[in-house]
Amino acid sequence: MEPMIVPLLDLKAQLAPLREELLAAMEEVMDSARFIMGEKVAAFEEEAAAYLGVRHAVGVSSGTDALLLALMALEVGPGDAVITSDFSFFATAGVIARVGARPVFVDIEPDSFNLDPARLRKLLESMPEAERRALKAIVPVHLFGQSAAMDAVLDIAAAFDVSVIEDAAQSIGAQYPARHGLRVSGAIGAMGCFSFFPSKNLGAFGDAGMVVTDSDRLAEVLRIKRVHGAKSGYLHETIGGNFRLDALQAAVLSVKLPHLNRWHAERMRNAERYGRLFRERGLTQVTAPPVVYAGKACERPHIFNQYTVRAPERDDLRAFLGERGIGTQVYYPRPFHRQPCFADVPCNPADFPESGRAAGEVLSLPIYSELTEEMQVYVADRIAEFYNR
C-alpha cells in the first residue's frame, strides 16, 4: 500500500489557480492605502447580498463579532435569555454570555445535528411566565453546512414573540425548502450571521464575517454599532464596538465569491462519493451524514463545510487514520451544557441525550473541493481496514 497524505483541508490547492487574481486585488488595496472599510468593503457587501438574496449585508470583523453585533442590535443584555443549540462551535454560546444574557441550551436532532424544534417547543411551553418574558432571541445553528428546521423554528419564535438570529457561519449558500419557497440559510430569520474564517467554505485571509438582514432598521443599527455606535462625527447615541471588516479581506472575498457555488458542488460530489465508497466496502459501522432536504428541489441542500460521520470507537479510528496520513477532527467533543464556563447555567443533563451522544461519535473527514477520488478511496480503504482489523 502506498502511503498518502490526505489533509483535513488544503487551502493551498484552492488558492493556486486564483493566485494572480488575488495578488492583483491585494495590490489594489495596498496602492489605494484605504485599509479600513471603503469601496472594497461596500463592493463585497453588495455582491454577498446579491448572492444570498437579501437587502442588506454588513461586513464585520469575524463570525463571532457578527453574532455579538446581532445580539447588540436587538439590545439583548443582562436579565435577558437567549436559546441556542447545545451542539455548536463555542462562539454561538459565548456571545450570549458576553452581552450579559443567560444562554439556554436545547438538544439537537440526531440526523441533522441541528436544534430540535420539538424540544424547543416543549421547553418554551414548560417555561414559567417570568422566564419566558426574559427570552429575547433564538439562535439556530446550521451546523456543518445544512439548514436547521427553520419553518418550525420560525413558527415557535412567532408564537412566543422572540427574534431569530441564524448562526449561518458554516452554511453560506445552503438552501432550505421553506413552506413559502426556497430560501438560503442566514436569510430566513431577522438576521443571519456568517463567518469567513479561512476554513469556512468562503474563507478570507484571516478573520472576517458578515451580518445580513432584510430589515432597513436593523441594517442601520448594525452599521452604526459596527463603528462604536457613532452615526457621524463622534456623536454616540448608542454603544457598539470595532466590528469593521478590513478592505484586504473584502478584496480577497470578492475574488473568491464567484467560485463558491462550484466549490459547494465539488464538496457535494465528494460527499456522494464517500457514500458510494462506504457502501461498496460494506462499511456499515460509519454513518454518513444524512442530507435532510435532499430531493426537495434544492440544488444545494448541504454545502458540507464539514463531512461529519458517526463512528464507533471514534477516538481509536481517528488515531488510526492519523497514523496513516489522514487528517480528521472532532467537531465538537463537548456540548455546551457540559462546558465548565456554563456550569452555572441551570440544566438537566437528561434533557440532552443527543448532543452528548454526538459529541462521543462524530468525526469530520476531509471533504474539501480539491480532494481527489484517489484520496477518498484511500480514506475509505483505511476506515474499512480499521473496522476489519
Dihedral sign (CA 98, 201, 366, 302) = positive
Residues 246-285, one symbol each (x = binds ligand PLP by CB under 6 A, - = not), give ----------------------------------------
DSSP reduced 3-state for 213: strand
Nearest to 78 by CA among 136, 130, 160: 136
Q: Report whether the peptide linkage leading into residue 368 is cis, meaning its omega lies within 30 degrees of zero.
A: no
157 or 168: CB nearest ligand PLP: 168
Chosen residue from 44, 89, 243, 263 binding ligand PLP by CB under 6 A = 89
Can residue 207 be called a binding residue for ligand PLP (CB under 6 A)? yes
* CB of 279 vs ligand PLP, minimal distance in Å: 29
Residues 155-184 as x/- pattern, contact with ligand PLP by CB under 6 A: ------------x-xx--------------
DSSP, collapsed to helix, strand or coil, labels residue 329 as: strand
Of the candidate spans 15-23, 39-47, 59-67, 106-114, the one that interacts with ligand PLP by CB under 6 A turns out to be 59-67
How near is the Cβ of 186 to ligand PLP at its closest, in Å?
11
Q: Answer positive or negative: Cα dihedral of 176, 83, 357, 315.
A: positive
Please give the residues from 90 up to 119 whose contact with ligand PLP meets the rule CB under 6 A: 91-92
| 191 binds ligand PLP per the rule CB under 6 A | no
Q: Which is nearer to ligand PLP, 91 or 188 (CB)?
A: 91
Q: Kindly state the smallest distance separating residue 325's Cβ from ligand PLP, in Å.
A: 26
C-alpha span between 46 and 41 (Å, rounded): 9
Q: Is 85 in the site for ligand PLP (CB under 6 A)?
A: no
CB-nearer residue toward ligand PLP: 170 or 213: 170
Distance CA 281, CA 388 (A): 11
DSSP-derived secondary structure for 300-367? -S---SSEEEE-TTHHHHHHHHHHTTB--B-S-SS-GGG-GGGTTS---GGG-HHHHHHHHHEEEEP-
Decide: is 189 part of the binding site for ligand PLP (CB under 6 A).
no
Task: Name the minimum Å distance from CB 69 to ligand PLP.
Answer: 11
58 binds ligand PLP (CB under 6 A): no
Which residues are within 8 A (CB) of 56 and not within 5 positions of it... i.e. 6 or more apart? 49, 212, 213, 214, 215, 216, 218, 219, 222
Of 67 and 120, the one with the shorter C-beta distance to ligand PLP is 67
- 164 membership: H or E segment, kind and range: strand 163-167
Closest distance to ligand PLP from the beta carbon of 213 (Å): 17
- Decide if residue 62 touches ligand PLP (CB under 6 A): yes
Binding-residue total with ligand PLP (CB under 6 A): 15
Interacting span for ligand PLP (CB under 6 A) from 60-68, 123-131, 281-289, 322-330: 60-68
**For ligand PLP, the closer CB: 195 or 254:** 195
Alpha-carbon radius of gyration of the chain: 21
Using the minimum distance from each CB to ligand PLP, give the nearer residue, 147 or 170. Answer: 170
Query: Please, what is the minimum distance in Å from the beta carbon of residue 206 to ligand PLP?
Result: 10
Contact (CB, 8 A) for 103 and 50: no
Report if residue 145 touches ligand PLP, rule: CB under 6 A. Answer: no
Segment 320-359, which members bind ligand PLP (CB under 6 A)?
none
Dihedral (C-alpha) 370, 376, 382, 385: value to the nearest 10 degrees? 170
DSSP 217-267: HHHHHHHHHHBTTEEETTEESS---B-BPBHHHHHHHHHHGGGHHHHHHHH
Q: Which residue is nearest to ligand PLP (CB)?
A: 63
Q: Is 22 exposed, middle or buried (0-12, 13-18, 19+ CB in 10 A)?
A: middle
DSSP symbol at 23? H
Task: Kindly state whether residue 88 participates in binding ligand PLP, applying the rule CB under 6 A.
Answer: yes
Distance of CA 350 to the CA centre of its chain: 26
64/197 Cα distance (integer angstroms): 10
209 is a site residue for ligand PLP (CB under 6 A): yes
**Applying CB under 6 A, which of residues 105, 197, 263, 378 lies at the interface with ligand PLP?**
197
Half-sphere exposure of residue 339: CA atoms within 13 angstroms, side-chain side: 20
Query: Which residues bind to ligand PLP, rule: CB under 6 A?
Result: 62-64, 88-89, 91-92, 141, 167, 169-170, 195, 197, 207, 209
